[in-house]
Amino acid sequence: MALTVDTGRGAEPGPLTALRVLRGAVDAGHRDPDDPAVPVVFTAGPLTGSGAPGTARVAAVGLSPLSGCVAETRAEGPFGPALVAAGAPVLTLTGRAEHPSYVLVRDGVATVHDARHLWGLGTGAATDALAAEYGGVAGIAVIGPAGERRARYASVVTARHFPLPRLGFGAILGARNVKAIVCVGAAAPPVADPAALAALATGYAVAQVDNPLTAWQHDPPGFGVWAGAVTDPGYGAVRNYGDTRSLPGPGLAPNRFSRRLTDVGACPGCPTDCIKIFTPADPGIRVAAPHPAADVDQPGIHATAAEVDREPAARSTGSGMHAPATDSAPDTGQPGMRGTATPVATADVSSTVDIAAAGTDGAATHSGAGAAGLHQEAVAALGPNLGIDDADTVLAANARCQDLGLDPVSAGGTLACLYEAAEAGLTPPEWRVRGFGADPVPYLAEIATGTGELAEALRDGAARLAVRLGAPHLAMTVRGVELPPFEPRIQPGLALAYAMAPTGPRYDAVEHDLDFDPDEGAPHSYPELRRLGLSVPEPARRLDTARAERTATLMCLWSALDALVVCPYASTPTRPLTVARIGELVRAVTGRTVGTDELLALGAARLRAQHGINVSLGIGTAAALPDRMHTEPVATGRYAGAVLDRDAFTAALGVLAGRLGLTTTNEE
C-alpha cells in the first residue's frame, strides 16, 4: 500500500476530525497499529497560528504500538503553526513508502521525497540537513533511530526541541518508512477580531508575571527541574515507585541544572517560555550518522565512543536526602515542593541565568550539539525513578532520548522495571544489568540501535518486559503505558484519570488534586474553580463519589483544551487563560461564541470519541493501576499512609465513567 498524504480538513476542530477518520478505518477492520491502512494524523487546532498565547501546539492521533489503544500526544512549539502556514492544518498519512522518505507540505500540496540519506541519523542531524535545504523557518518533524527500529515508545521530535513524546508515534512513522515531515509556507489563518486578540495577548503577558505557576514555568531554570525541589516522600516516583521513604538527592537540586541552561525553546506568541534548553556536560552524544557500537563497562550494553567516556551516575543512598519542608522554606508554587530545606550551594553553580543574554529570538533555537529541550517529566522519570542523583547524567539521558527519538517517560519506566528486576535477581545473567543507579545513557543507545535480546526486550516497553521476566507486578503501567512520574497514591483524582483516560495514563489529563488542597493548594485558582461549579478547598487524599464527579469536570475541561489544541500550561483552572478568556480567544479568532457549558461538552465529546474507538477495538472502559498503588502505602513524611483503597477506587471509577458517558456500548 503506497504512502498517501491527505491535507483535507473537517468542519470540527482538528483532533475531532482525526478521531473521526481513525474511527472509520477501525470500523472498516483496520485495527492493528502496524497496518499501514490505519491513518496517522498530525493536526493543529482552530486557534493555531493566530499568535495568541497558549495556541502554539500540535497533536498526533493514531493507534499506539505500545498500548494497542487509541493514541494522541501533543507538542508545544513552532510545528503546529508551521502546519497551518503550509496550508495543511490536518495532515493524514496512510500506507507505506517503498523506501525511507520524507513528506514535504508546501502551500497546501504534499509531495513525497527520498530520505535514504537521512535514515540512521539522529533527530538533530536530520533536522539540520532538512533545515539547510528548506530554510530555518521551515517546520520540521523527524524520527530518530528508535523510530526506525520501531521501539514501541519512539517519539517524533518537532522543531528540534519539542517532541511528540508518548505512545510510539515515532515507531508508526518508522513502520511507514517516513523519516520526516517538512512544512513550508506563509499562510496566515483569518482572525475575526485582531484588536481583541491583541488585548488578550497583552493581558496574558501581564497576568503571567503574578501567577505563581506561569512565573515558575517562565523563570530559570524552569518547570522541568521540579523533581529536585521535592521535600516530601511520595510526591514523585522513586525507584520504580517502590521507594516512598527517599527523596531526590542534592545532585538534582534545581541550581545544579542552571549551569547547563543555554537557551529557551520559545513558543510563537507565548511569553511564558516553559521549555528550557540545556546542554549536558558531554555534548558529544548526538547521532551524527549511523555508527558501529563500542563496548562499554556495562556488559551487554553498547554505546558510542562519547558514551564510553562518561562518568558513571551517582548512586542514591536509599535514604531521604532532604530535610522535611519547613515554614520558612521558599514556596515554589507547586504542592509538595516548598523549597529545598537543605539547599545545595556550590561555587560554580548559579541559581539564575539571563535567558535574554542567550540570544533567543522568539523562535525555536539550536544551542549546539547535545542541546535538548526539557519538559516537565524527563528529570523525574530519568532521575529519582532510576535511582540517579546527578543533574549531568539526567540531562545527558534527556538529550539522548531527544536525539534518538525516545519518550523519556516510557524509557525511564522501562529501565526502572529492568533495574528493579535486576536487583531482585530476575534478569538473565548474560544481560549483566546492575540495577538502580546505573547510568541510563548506554541503555538508551541499546534501545535505539541494539540488535540483541536485551535491546528487543527494552524496545517493547515495561509491560512486555515484565511479562518476559516473569514479574508482571514490576511494570508500573496502565493499558501497557508507563505511568508518568507524578505519584497517584496521594492524588486519587489523578489516579482516576490515569485509569480512565482512553489513551492511557498522562499527567496532563486533569489538574492535580494537590492544587485544591486546603494546606497545599493554589488559592489563586479557587474563584475559577467555583465558576466551574466545584467546591474548594478540598482535601487532596479524599477518595469518594465527590472526587469522581470533580475529576469528571476537570477531565472534560482539559479535554476541551486538547480538542482546541490549546496549551494547559497557559490555561484554566490555575493559569491565566481562564475559561472566560478561552471563550474570548475563540471568539476573537473564529467569530464564534463559546461558553463554559459548550467547552465542557466539547471535552466530553472528544473523550467519548476516543473511547468509542477503544470499544470498536474490544478494549474496556477503565484499566487497572499497578497493584503497588493499592497495597504499598507511602512510608513516611507528610503523605505517610497514602494508598488507594481498591474498593473505593473501583466504585469511584464507575461513577467517573457514568459522568463522562463512557460505556462499553459507546458509539460516538
Separation between Cα atoms, residue 567 and residue 376, nearest integer Å: 14
* Pair 528, 429 in one domain: no
Q: Both 109 and 217 in a single domain?
A: no
Residue whose C-alpha is closest to residue 91's, from 131, 142, 39, 143: 39
pLDDT in tens, 584-622: 999 999 999 999 999 999 999 999 999 999 999 999 998
pLDDT in tens, 451-491: 999 999 999 999 999 999 999 999 999 999 999 999 999 99
Question: How confident is the model at residue 363, as a pLDDT?
Answer: 37
Among candidate residues 137, 169, 184, the one where a domain is terminated: 184
Do the bridges between strand 101-106 and strand 178-184 make them parallel or antiparallel, or are there none, so unpaired?
A: parallel
- 306 with 437, same domain: the answer is yes
Identify residue 492 by its one-letter amino acid code: P
Per the prediction, the chain carries an average pLDDT of 89
Answer whether 529's CB lies under 8 Å from 573's CB.
yes
Asked if residue 64 belongs to a domain, the reply is: yes
Same domain, 402 and 442: yes
Does 53 share its domain with 113? yes
pLDDT digits (tens, 9 = 90+) for 637-655: 999 999 999 999 999 999 9
Dihedral sign (CA 28, 30, 36, 41): positive
Q: If you search the block for the grid coordinates 508518548, which residue do you land on? A: 166
- Boundary of a domain, candidates 184, 219, 252: 184
Asked if the structure places residue 462 within a domain, the reply is: yes
Range of the domain at 496: 488-660
Contact status, residue 182 vs residue 142, Cβ threshold 8 Å = no
The residue among 461, 481, 501 that closes a domain is 481
Q: What is the CATH number of the domain that holds 283?
A: 1.10.569.10
Strand partners, 478: 481
Please, which residues have CB within 8 angstroms of residue 11's CB and are 6 or more apart in sequence?
A: none
38 plus 148 within the same structural domain = yes
What burial letters (b/e) apply to 122-153, b meaning 16+ CB within 10 Å?
bbbbbbbbbbeebeeebbbbbbbbbbbbbbbb
- Look at residue 277 and give its three-state secondary structure: strand
The answer to whether residue 105 scores a pLDDT higher than 50 is yes
Taking the C-alpha atoms of residue 34 and residue 39, their distance in angstroms, rounded to an integer, is 10
Q: Is residue 243 domain-shared with residue 171, that is, in the same domain?
A: no
- Assigned C-alpha cell, 508: 496532563
Within-domain flag for 196: no
**Mean pLDDT on 19-40:** 98
Mean pLDDT of 424-433: 97
**Residue 80: which H helix or E strand, with range?**
helix 79-85
pLDDT at residue 314 is higher than 70: no
First to last CA, the chain: 29
**How many distinct structural domains can be found in the chain?**
3
Residue 198 domain flag: no
Shared domain check, 253 and 167: no
pLDDT at 283: 54
Per residue in 70-102, pLDDT (tens digit) is: 999 999 999 999 999 999 999 999 999 999 999
Q: Give the whole-angstrom CA distance, residue 180 versus residue 184.
A: 13
Alpha helices in 96-182 (DSSP H): 123-134, 145-148, 169-175
User: What counts of helices (H) and strands (E) characterise the chain?
Assistant: 22, 18
- Per the DSSP assignment, residues forming a β-bridge with 388 are 315
CATH of the domain at 153: 3.60.9.10
Instruction: Kindly state whether residues 522 and 467 are assigned to the same domain.
Output: no
Answer yes or no: do 220 and 72 share one domain.
Answer: no
Classify residue 118: in a domain, yes or no.
yes
Give the distance from CA 156 to its chain's centroid: 12
Calculate what percentage of the chain has a pLDDT beyond 70: 86
pLDDT at 369: 60
C-beta of residue 142 within 8 angstroms of C-beta of residue 180:
yes
Q: What is the pTM of this model?
A: 0.90
Give yes or no: residues 445 and 494 share one domain.
Answer: no
As a whole number of angstroms, the distance between CA 236 and CA 659 comes to 29
DSSP alpha helices (H): ranges in 356-451? 378-382, 391-404, 408-423, 441-449
What's the pLDDT tens digit per position in 1-28? 788 888 877 779 999 999 999 999 999 9
| Residue 64 binned pLDDT confidence (cut-offs 50, 70, 90) | very high
pLDDT band at 196 (very low <50, low <70, confident <90, very high): very high
Give the CA angle between residues 627, 151, 401 to the nearest 5°.
90
* Structure-derived torsion over alpha carbons of residues 457, 460, 464, 468, reported in degrees to the nearest 10: -10
Q: Give residue-wise pLDDT tens across range 231-282.
A: 999 999 999 999 999 999 999 999 999 999 999 989 999 999 999 999 998 7
Domain membership of residue 194 (yes or no) is no
For residue 368, what pLDDT is reported? 53
What is the distance between the alpha carbons of residues 488 and 642, in angstroms, rounded to a whole number? 9
Give domain status of residue 193, yes or no: no
Residue range 141-185, pLDDT digits in tens: 999 999 999 999 999 999 999 999 999 999 999 999 999 999 999
Whole-Å CA distances, 375 to 231, 239, 319, 397, 561: 21, 20, 27, 13, 19
At 545-583, the pLDDT tens digits run: 999 999 999 999 999 999 999 999 999 999 999 999 999
Alpha-helical runs (H) found in 522-640: 526-531, 545-564, 579-590, 596-617, 628-631
**Do the Cβ atoms of 102 and 179 come closer than 8 Å?**
yes
Residues 427 and 557 in one domain: no
**Strands annotated E in 166-209:** 178-184
